[in-house]
Amino acid sequence: MGMGVLSGTPFVVPRLVLLLAFFSLAFLLLFEAPLSLSLSLSLSMVVDDFVYQTKTIAGHNLEATPWHPFPTKTFNEETKYARASKIIRCSYLSCGRSARDNVPYKNQSALANQAENCPEFFKSIHHDLEPWSKTKISLTHLMEAKEFAAFRVVIVGGRLYVDFYYACVQSRAMFTIWGLLQLLRRYPGRVPDVDLMFDCMDKPSINRTEHAAMPLPLFRYCTTPEHFDIPFPDWSFWGWSEINIGPWDEEFKNIKRGSQAQSWPKKWPLAYWKGNPDVNSPIRTELLQCNDTRQWRAQIVRQDWGEAAKGGFKQSKLSKQCNHQYKIYAEGYAWSVSLKYIMSCGSVPLIISPQYEDFFSRGLIPKKNYWPIPLDDLCRSIKFAVDWGNAHPSEAEKIGRGAQDFMENLSMRRVYDYMYHLITEYSKLQDFTPVLPSSAQEICVDSLLCFADEKQRQFLKKSTSLPSPAPSCTLQPRDIASTRRVR
User: Residue range 395-419: average pLDDT?
Assistant: 98
Range with the lowest mean pLDDT among 35-39, 331-335, 454-458? 35-39
If asked whether residues 9 and 99 sit together in one domain, one would say yes
Confidence of residue 7 (pLDDT cuts 50, 70, 90): very low
**Boundaries of domain holding 400:** 246-357+361-409
User: Residue range 287-299: average pLDDT?
Assistant: 97
Question: Percent of the chain at pLDDT above 70?
Answer: 81
| Phi, psi dihedrals of residue 266, rounded to the nearest 5° | -90, -5
Residue 239 lies in a domain: no
pLDDT of residue 22: 56
Give CA–CA dist 16/191, Å, rounded: 32
pLDDT of residue 8: 39
Range with the lowest mean pLDDT among 59-68, 268-277, 426-435? 59-68
Looking at 409, 427, 447, the residue that finishes a domain is 409
User: Given a cut of 90, is residue 483 above it in pLDDT?
Assistant: no
Residue 282 lies in a domain: yes
Range with the lowest mean pLDDT among 13-17, 72-76, 150-154, 393-397? 13-17
In sequence order, the 6+-apart residues with CB closer than 8 A to the CB of 347 are 259, 267, 272, 322, 324, 325, 326, 327, 400, 403
If asked whether residues 427 and 400 sit together in one domain, one would say no
Looking at 378, 409, 440, the residue that finishes a domain is 409
If asked whether residues 263 and 304 sit together in one domain, one would say yes
If asked whether residues 314 and 197 sit together in one domain, one would say no
Greater confidence, 107 or 388? 388
Greater confidence, 89 or 272? 272
In sequence order, the 6+-apart residues with CB closer than 8 A to the CB of 68 are 169, 201, 202, 203
User: Residue range 195-212: average pLDDT?
Assistant: 97
If asked whether residues 90 and 204 sit together in one domain, one would say yes
If asked whether residues 146 and 120 sit together in one domain, one would say yes
If asked whether residues 209 and 252 sit together in one domain, one would say no
User: Given a cut of 50, is residue 336 above it in pLDDT?
Assistant: yes
Confidence of residue 102 (pLDDT cuts 50, 70, 90): low
pLDDT of residue 486: 46
User: Given a cut of 70, is residue 103 above it in pLDDT?
Assistant: no
CB 99 within 8 A of CB 160: no
Helix (H, G, I), strand (E, B) or coil at 198: strand
User: Given a cut of 60, is residue 2 above it in pLDDT?
Assistant: no
Give CA–CA dist 133/80, Å, rounded: 49
Residue 116 lies in a domain: yes
Looking at 375, 409, 443, the residue that finishes a domain is 409
User: Residue range 354-366: average pLDDT?
Assistant: 97
User: Given a cut of 90, is residue 21 above it in pLDDT?
Assistant: no
Q: What is the mean pLDDT of the chain?
A: 87
If asked whether residues 172 and 32 sit together in one domain, one would say yes
User: Residue range 43-61: average pLDDT?
Assistant: 72
Confidence of residue 413 (pLDDT cuts 50, 70, 90): very high
If asked whether residues 195 and 46 sit together in one domain, one would say yes
pLDDT of residue 121: 96
If asked whether residues 230 and 318 sit together in one domain, one would say no
Range with the lowest mean pLDDT among 55-69, 149-163, 373-387, 415-429? 55-69
User: Residue range 389-393: average pLDDT?
Assistant: 98
User: Given a cut of 90, is residue 11 above it in pLDDT?
Assistant: no
Question: How many structural domains is the chain composed of?
Answer: 2
User: Given a cut of 90, is residue 26 above it in pLDDT?
Assistant: no
Residue 218 lies in a domain: yes
Pairing mode of beta strands 3-6, 324-329: unpaired
User: Given a cut of 70, is residue 335 above it in pLDDT?
Assistant: yes
Residue 278 lies in a domain: yes
Residue 54 lies in a domain: yes
pLDDT of residue 18: 53
User: Residue range 375-401: average pLDDT?
Assistant: 97
If asked whether residues 228 and 254 sit together in one domain, one would say no
If asked whether residues 309 and 378 sit together in one domain, one would say yes
Confidence of residue 97 (pLDDT cuts 50, 70, 90): low
The whole-model pTM stands at: 0.88
CB 73 within 8 A of CB 166: no
Greater confidence, 53 or 343? 343
Q: What is the 3-state secondary structure (H, E, C) of 155-172?
A: EECCEEEEEECCECCCCH
Residue 166 lies in a domain: yes
Which CATH number does the domain housing residue 297 bear? 3.40.50.2000
User: Given a cut of 80, is residue 3 above it in pLDDT?
Assistant: no
Residue 240 lies in a domain: no
